[in-house]
């Protein structure tokens, strides 16, 4: 019978804390932060500042802060947004153990 490890949490993929660029931190707050939290914070910022196109909710109208993340583009669809935001995320380096 295999032992389960209920207290063990996966630290990969979407739940792994990532370093955020200074431009992204201006919008979502300080990192490190998992991708899921970045996405949640980004959508909160977009909705709070009413940056969704009224006719097409999938389109985001960038303000000055978002333009820094969106490579200067004024309008981005939500699928492009994911790709553009990933350029502002880097994996956290693991701490090296001293021998």
Domains of the chain, residue spans: 18-90
Q: Omega into 82 within 30° of 0, i.e. cis?
A: no
CATH code assigned to 18-90: 1.10.245.10
The predicted pLDDT at position 97 comes to 44
The residues of the chain scoring below 50 in pLDDT are 5, 96-99
Burial 63-86 (b: 16+ CB within 10 A, else e): eeebebbbeeeeebeeebbeeebe
How far apart are the C-alpha atoms of 80 and 2, rounded to whole Å?
43
Nearest CA-CA partner of 78 in 33, 39, 31: 39
How far apart are the C-alpha atoms of 7 and 50, rounded to whole Å?
40
The predicted pLDDT at position 92 comes to 76
How far apart are the C-alpha atoms of 55 and 37, rounded to whole Å?
27
How far apart are the C-alpha atoms of 36 and 14, rounded to whole Å?
6
């Amino acid at each position: 019978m295999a032992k389960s490890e209920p207290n063990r949490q996966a630290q990969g993929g979407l739940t792994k804390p990532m370093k955020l660029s200074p431009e992204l931190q201006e919008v979502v707050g300080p990192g490190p932060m998992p991708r899921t939290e970045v996405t949640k914070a980004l959508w909160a910022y977009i909705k709070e500042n009413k940056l969704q196109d009224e006719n097409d909710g999938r389109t985001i109208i960038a303000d000055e802060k978002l333009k820094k993340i969106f490579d200067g583009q004024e309008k981005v669809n939500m699928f492009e947004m994911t790709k553009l935001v990933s350029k502002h995320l880097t994996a956290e380096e693991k701490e090296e153990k001293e021998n």
